[in-house]
């Protein structure tokens, strides 16, 4: 598996690990600095840039992923297709495409911006806090998935009714419904009225 700032610390030749940095932002999404990834998620949390991707198949079903059990934050829970943090200075669109490929082994055949949402979601299980200014993206996936087992336990394509059943039965990420609801106008435009989103 390739080592990236999103999945591991960088170990230069000196043998010391470089911290994973997130881009801190103000309430308007303007960059104001950086912070180490784990420190940014410690209570009360520091507002940082993030992204969330929602990919759909040709039938208008949403691709969900179950996060790997080894994740330090929200392990084993179901969530949207892909989510993460841009490198400092990296465009959110580029980060979304990069991480979708790194986690699921697929490049979206279409990826479009779907707005932003700002939220504050404590995670009761880990004690960490998601204070995020989140860039939303919707798109299509038309290639076979090749999930990285260090990132993703399982995947599923779901229609709205199936999602409702799963959401009532399984554990989902604290941020899932917030980002899905914020992306719904773009999701409806992408999938059309018959998909039911």
Spatial contact of 83 and 52, defined as CB atoms under 8 Å apart? yes
Active-site annotation holds for 82: no
- Please check if 167 is assigned to a binding site: no
Q: CA of 176: how far to CAs of 31, 33, 64, 119, 163, in Å? A: 24, 26, 10, 11, 11
- Please check if 103 is assigned to a binding site: yes
- Please check if 102 is assigned to a binding site: no
- Please identify which of the residues 23, 82, 132, 151 carries the catalytic annotation: 132
Nearest CA to 137 out of 101, 160, 108 is that of: 108
Active-site annotation holds for 132: yes
- Please check if 41 is assigned to a binding site: yes
Locate the DSSP E strands across the chain: 21-25, 31-36, 48-56, 62-67, 78-79, 82-84, 110-122, 129-140, 152-158
- Please identify which of the residues 83, 113, 151, 162 carries the catalytic annotation: 83
* Tally of helices (H runs) and strands (E runs) in the chain: 4, 9
- Please check if 48 is assigned to a binding site: yes
Q: Which residues are annotated as a binding site?
A: 41, 48, 85, 103, 130, 132
Q: Per the annotation, where are the binding residues for Mg(2+)?
A: 103
Query: Residues forming the annotated binding site for Mn(2+)?
Result: 41, 48, 85, 130, 132
Active-site positions read 83, 132
């Amino acid at each position: 598996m390739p080592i990236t700032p999103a999945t591991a610390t960088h170990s230069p030749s000196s043998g010391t690990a470089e911290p994973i940095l997130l881009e801190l932002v103000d309430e308007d999404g303007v960059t104001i600095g950086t912070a180490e990834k784990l420190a940014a998620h410690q209570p009360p949390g520091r507002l940082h840039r993030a992204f969330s991707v929602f990919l759909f198949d040709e039938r208008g079903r949403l691709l969900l992923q179950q996060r790997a059990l080894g994740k330090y934050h929200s392990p084993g829970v179901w969530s949207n297709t892909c989510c993460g943090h841009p490198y400092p200075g990296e465009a959110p669109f580029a980060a979304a495409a990069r991480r979708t490929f790194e986690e699921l082994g697929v490049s979206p055949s279409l990826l479009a911006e779907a707005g932003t949402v700002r939220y504050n979601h404590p995670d009761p299980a880990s004690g960490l806090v998601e204070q995020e200014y989140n860039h939303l993206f919707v798109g299509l996936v038309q290639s076979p998935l090749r999930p990285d087992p260090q990132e993703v336990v399982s995947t599923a394509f779901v229609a709205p009714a199936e999602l409702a059943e799963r959401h009532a039965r399984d554990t989902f990420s604290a941020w899932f419904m917030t980002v899905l609801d914020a992306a719904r106008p773009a999701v409806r435009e992408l999938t059309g009225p018959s998909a039911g989103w």
